[in-house]
Amino acid sequence: MIHQNSLFDTELGELKETVLKMGILVQSLIQKSVDSLKNQDPKLAQNVIDDDKKVDQLELDIDEKCINLIALREPKATDLRFITMAMRIGTDLERIGDLAEDIAERTIELGNQPLVKPLIDLPKMAQLAQEAIALALDAFVTLNVEKARLIWAKEKEMDQLRDKVQEELEEIMAKDASTVKRALPLLLTARHLERICDHATNIAEDIIYVVEARVVKHQGKS
Amino acid sequence: MSEKIEIKKLNLFYGDFHALIDVNLGIPEKRVTSIIGPSGCGKSTLLRCLNRMNDLVEGVRVTGSIKIDNIEVCSPNTDLISLRQKVGMVFQRPNPFPLSIFENVVYGLRISGTNKRSVLEEVAEKSLSEVLLFDDLKDKLSDPALGLTLEQQQKLCIARVIAMRPEVILLDEPCSTLDPIATLKIEDLMQILKKDYSLVIVTHNMQQAARASDTTCYMLLGEMIECGETKDIFTAPKDKRTEDYISGRFG
């Protein structure tokens, strides 16, 4: 149903668009950061680091929009939950942007040293992270809890892949200590990607709160 | 939490117009309960049922039950004077009598036969203290009440109710003529008063209901749609109609 004050609906729409814009930007940063690592492309990595500033600015824009909406429109019920969760989602997306930047920094650290192993699982993890974020954004825009819940399956898959990558890298480092300096950036990248998926899970929990007014955070998923 | 007032299957007709439809509601003791809803939904009518003020309206017919402390209010045998002593009412506009501040506070006591000066003085001081007016007005008790600010006039009206030692105080849009600061002061006063009295407030101001009440009830077209903890009603109402109203998507 349309709000009695039509400007309020317009402002809510603008907030949603900003969150979506930020989500699409961080998705592209994940892709670029992992590509920079895979192709050992420091220019692309620097591009990710530079673009993270845009993500930071979008987080500030979202905060400002939310604070203005709360102060001026006195939202209630679903509107209130939507606005407060949009602020939290902004924070999660900003952290995802930082993690993409961290991956780009690993690329720069590695420079042109040969990789300790071909990158097969890390790109898979990057793909999973992007899928999780895409689901989160779709669920946010459509307020669809079923889509939000699909993210938990991605998170499980992500954890398994991270464990696999970690085991492989530990084995490589155990066999030849001279690989440690080159293996660690990959190990950290796996950790960063896994954290990205955790943030997507946070977003899913926030969406469930918006739609169902039910807190699932820290309570086991259901 | 014990219930001070229990309303069951309450129906009210103004002639052919069915103004309250099967209202069921429990009003907790020593808490602030607000009734919200669009104009004409029946919230003031419901409030006026609690001390039988609707009896004054020609052609009104009431069925169902209202019990205060398990005593039926709707019974023809109910003593209306003692009911209205127990259930006091404050109206939209402050309505002090054209008398002194002192005489306004003790007016109810005088008409019920108490004239002993020391008793009246004691009650006036206590009642004005409870509404946080005594310190400001103690040297002006003989001044005309109509010379007070609107906020002071409304507090004086509350003091006049309190002087009769009620158990329930009904407030029908008590801040609608007050400025925002005076409104907040009356709301603060309600928080103090709820320690001793059960308060029921009808308000159009949803922020006021959110700020000042512990329980909020939403009415629409004569029906009680939803009643619950205020924080739940304003963050996660159960009924779509409540959600639409409080989020401004009504109509």
The hierarchical CATH code for the domain B3-246 is 3.40.50.300
Yes or no, beta carbons of A77 and B250 under 8 Å apart: no
Yes or no, beta carbons of A78 and B251 under 8 Å apart: no
Yes or no, beta carbons of A78 and B243 under 8 Å apart: yes
For an interface test with B, give the residue of A8, A73, A76 to mutate (most B CBs within 10 A).
A76
pLDDT at A7 over 90: no
Question: CA A51 to CA B148: how far, in whole Å?
Answer: 63
Question: CA A124 to CA A105: how far, in whole Å?
Answer: 20
A3 contacts in B (CB within 8 Å)? 247-249
Longest dimension (CA), chain A: 69
Distance from CA of residue B214 to its chain's centroid?
14
Give the residue from chain A lying closest to B246, CA to CA.
A76
A2 touches chain B (CB under 8 A): yes
Yes or no, beta carbons of A76 and B246 under 8 Å apart: yes
Give the residue from chain B lying closest to A209, CA to CA.
B236
Question: CA A221 to CA A149: how far, in whole Å?
Answer: 9
Whole-number pLDDT of residue B142: 97
Question: CA A35 to CA A216: how far, in whole Å?
Answer: 34
Whole-number pLDDT of residue A218: 79
Average pLDDT, integer, range A167-189? 95
Which two tokens mark B214?
A: 């512990």
Order across the sheet with B32-36: list the strands.
B87-90, B168-172, B198-202, B32-36, B215-220, B223-229
Yes or no, beta carbons of B247 and A76 under 8 Å apart: yes
A10 CA to chain B: closest CA distance, Å? Answer: 14
Q: Where are the alpha helices (DSSP H) in chain A?
A: 6-38, 42-73, 77-110, 121-142, 145-175, 180-212
- Compute CA distances B202 → A154, B43, B118, B208, B247, whole Å: 50, 6, 36, 10, 18
Domain A6-212 coded CATH 1.20.58.220: yes
A79 contacts in B (CB within 8 Å)? 247
DSSP string across B157-177: HHHHHHTT--SEEEEESTTTT
Q: CB within 8 A of B234, min separation 6: which ones?
A: A76, A77, A80, B206, B210, B216, B246
Tell me the domain boundaries of chain B: 3-246
The secondary element (H helix, E strand) that includes residue B197 is: none
A91 CA to chain B: closest CA distance, Å? Answer: 22
b vs e for A95-133, b when ≥16 Cβ sit within 10 Å of the residue's Cβ?
bbbbbbbbbbbbbbebeeeebbbebebbebbbebbbbbb
Which two tokens mark A47?
A: 């591009």
Chains A–B, number of C-beta pairs less than 8 Å apart = 40
pLDDT at A217 over 80: yes
Strands, E, within chain B: which ranges? 3-14, 17-28, 32-36, 60-68, 71-72, 87-90, 168-172, 198-202, 215-220, 223-229
Whole-number pLDDT of residue B1: 75
Instruction: Provide the percentage of residues in chain A whose pLDDT is more than 70.
Output: 98
Whole-number pLDDT of residue A130: 93
pLDDT at A184 over 70: yes
Among the partner-chain residues A1, A75, A77, the one whose CB lies closest to the CB of B237 is A77
Q: What is the pLDDT of residues A27-80, one digit of tens each?
A: 999 999 999 999 999 999 999 999 999 999 999 999 999 999 999 888 999 999
Tell me the domain boundaries of chain A: 6-212
Question: CA B170 to CA B40: how far, in whole Å?
Answer: 18
pLDDT at A221 over 70: no
What's A4's DSSP letter? S
Yes or no, beta carbons of A74 and B237 under 8 Å apart: no
Yes or no, beta carbons of A3 and B249 under 8 Å apart: yes
Whole-number pLDDT of residue A220: 64
Cβ–Cβ under 8 Å, residues A76 and B206: yes
Whole-number pLDDT of residue B251: 60
Yes or no, beta carbons of B235 and A5 under 8 Å apart: no
A70 touches chain B (CB under 8 A): no
Question: CA A98 to CA B135: how far, in whole Å?
Answer: 59
Residues lower than pLDDT 70 in chain B: 251
pLDDT at A219 over 90: no
- Compute CA distances A110 → A35, A41, A103, A162, A178, whole Å: 14, 10, 11, 20, 14
Give the residue from chain B lying closest to A5, CA to CA.
B248
Among the partner-chain residues A2, A3, A77, the one whose CB lies closest to the CB of B235 is A77
Residue A193 confidence class, pLDDT cut points 50, 70, 90: very high
How many helices (H) and strands (E) are present in chain B, helices listed first? Answer: 11, 10
